[in-house]
Amino acid sequence: MKLHILGCYAATPKALTNPTSQVLEIRNRLFLIDCGEGTQVQLRKNKIKFSRIEHIFISHLHGDHFFGLPGLISTFRLLGREKDLHIYGPEGIQKVITLLLRLGNSWTNYKLIFHELSSKKSEIIFQDANVRVKTIPLDHRIYTNGFLFSELPGERKLNVLATAKYKIDKAYFRSIKQGNDIKLDDGSVISNSELSLDPPQTKQYAYCSDTGFNREMVPLINDVDLLYHEATFLETEAHLAKKTKHSTARQAATIAKEANVFRLLLGHFSTRYKSILPFREEAIAVFENVDLADDGKIFEI
């Protein structure tokens, strides 16, 4: 997995900062997560091909997380897109987007497929042969979801030396990769564990923005490889975090520690702060493995 941060600041865009948007790359597939203002410009700056985006996940309907979506959809149309585009987001997102397109007489020449979400419990919203996406219910001022991206195990790898040793015909290779034992002509059975190797270890990425301090998410994100957790405020403004249902860096680190995640990535910083470095300093007092998101950064998972 590879995570491209397009924007990671809260609310108001500034000259050098962008509101929330990121692209997660899994096995050569791109998933756009949130789409704040300026997302398509950031996609161009980061040299990410528009045509590779087929699924967009919107956490909630606050403007700094989806105001870039109408423009991106429009640009796809101008570029002659033909592939379907799937959009996952809260109830109401279809009405908002389609109204803008209708009033502007600019309906797309490709299929827009909306998957509206309303459940307050975690649910699987997308799955194919390689990836599963589940919602992570968050605690914000309006209905909000985070998203858990899980790589699914691939096929087992062929143990070429073992198959040669037992002179196994190539016709059985597919079956071996699928985990099956093989019966030889003499009736003996060769265990799959001898004929194949474990597939590469799978990875998990949890995206949690925006939310107040919420221990209920911990069981859903246990042991993930990377947790992106909002840290809008420092502890000096904990009263504002509570009032607006956002989190402090210390609270984000507490969630990371309790969930036993491997690595914590902080983002959604309030632009009131002149530097984001104090966010890491505050978090590592609770949880050691902390990184700071910033526009244009790429993180390998």
List, by residue number, the catalytic residues.
64
Distances (CA, A) of 45 to 4, 38, 289: 11, 11, 29
Rounded CA-CA distance 73/96 in Å is 13
Rounded CA-CA distance 178/110 in Å is 36
- Helix ranges restricted to H, the chain: 39-45, 63-66, 69-78, 93-103, 160-165, 173-177, 192-195, 218-221, 238-244, 249-258, 277-284
Rounded CA-CA distance 111/81 in Å is 10
- In sequence order, which residues have a C-beta less than 8 Å from that of residue 268 and are 6 or more positions away? 8, 9, 10, 20, 209, 210, 230, 231, 232, 246
What is the b/e burial string over 89-118, where b = at least 16 CB atoms within 10 angstroms of the residue's CB?
A: bbeebeeebeeebeeeeeeeeeebeeeebe
Rounded CA-CA distance 133/114 in Å is 16
